[in-house]
Chain A
Amino acid sequence: GIQVEQSPPDLILQEGANSTLRCNFSDSVNNLQWFHQNPWGQLINLFYIPSGTKQNGRLSATTVATERYSLLYISSSQTTDSGVYFCAVELGGATNKLIFGTGTLLAVQP
């Protein structure tokens, strides 16, 4: 089956720093979503980005489907950005179930 790997697995930042999270996938996908999982376990939608670049405030994402990767940029990080970031890919077919990556655990220190 498809492999979805994220890097780095862990990241510690000082408040105000910028970071780039990467998601690599081993096969063609229909779509890709980025999520932030907060300490209470809630998955918060960040981007729905099958290709191209999108921006939302301090966050932006780029997916290069032909090269099978996606990047999530966090600028001017805040302590509230802490948590686990997941990318999830949607395979073809009728289900559009999501296959989640391995996650990046981000800790932003004041």
Chain B
Amino acid sequence: DTGVSQNPRHKITKRGQNVTFRCDPISEHNRLYWYRQTLGQGPEFLTYFQNEAQLEKSRLLSDRFSAERPKGSFSTLEIQRTEQGDSAMYLCASSLGLKSEQYFGPGTRLTVT
């Protein structure tokens, strides 16, 4: 499988709980992105890694959100003390270098009850 993979595909959690999502990019891609998509909207940029370095974070990424990419391979996105407004599809994408096409994973759909 050479595509971007994400786990889990669906997550239902109660408000206040912590959740963690995983993204495995295409193996040779050094750039990794997280986006969030709410119902009826296009995806919005959250954060970006080049190798293991997190180089940009959107204002959408509150202090309850943290992302890591240890060793420049897979990445995790953690949301602490989830709120109902966090309910969304969380999408991961990867690309090879600057000015190259981004490829998206299937997403993790989070529902906070």
Contacts and interface: CB of A to CB of B under 8 A. Distances in A.
Nearest to B45: A97
B44 interface: yes
A96 B45 contact: no
Contacts of B100: 96
A31 B104 CA distance: 17
Interface of B is mostly: strand
Interface residues of B, number: 26
Interface stretch (B17-25, B69-77, B78-86, B91-99): B91-99
Nearest to A35: B104
A33 B41 CA distance: 17
A30 interface: yes
A66 interface: no
B24 to A, nearest CB: 15
Given A31-B99, A33-B101, A41 B109 contact: yes
Interface stretch (A13-21, A52-60, A75-83, A100-108): A100-108
Contacts, number: 55
Contacts of B91: 43
A45 interface: yes
B106 A94 contact: no
Interface in B30-44: 31, 33, 35, 37, 41-44
Nearest to B109: A41
A94 B55 contact: yes
A96 B98 contact: yes
- Nearest first, the 10 A-B pairs at minimum CB distance are A100-B42, A43-B104, A48-B101, A97-B45, A95-B56, A41-B107, A42-B106, A100-B43, A95-B48, A86-B42
Interface of A: 30-31, 33, 35, 40-43, 45, 48, 86, 88, 90, 94-103
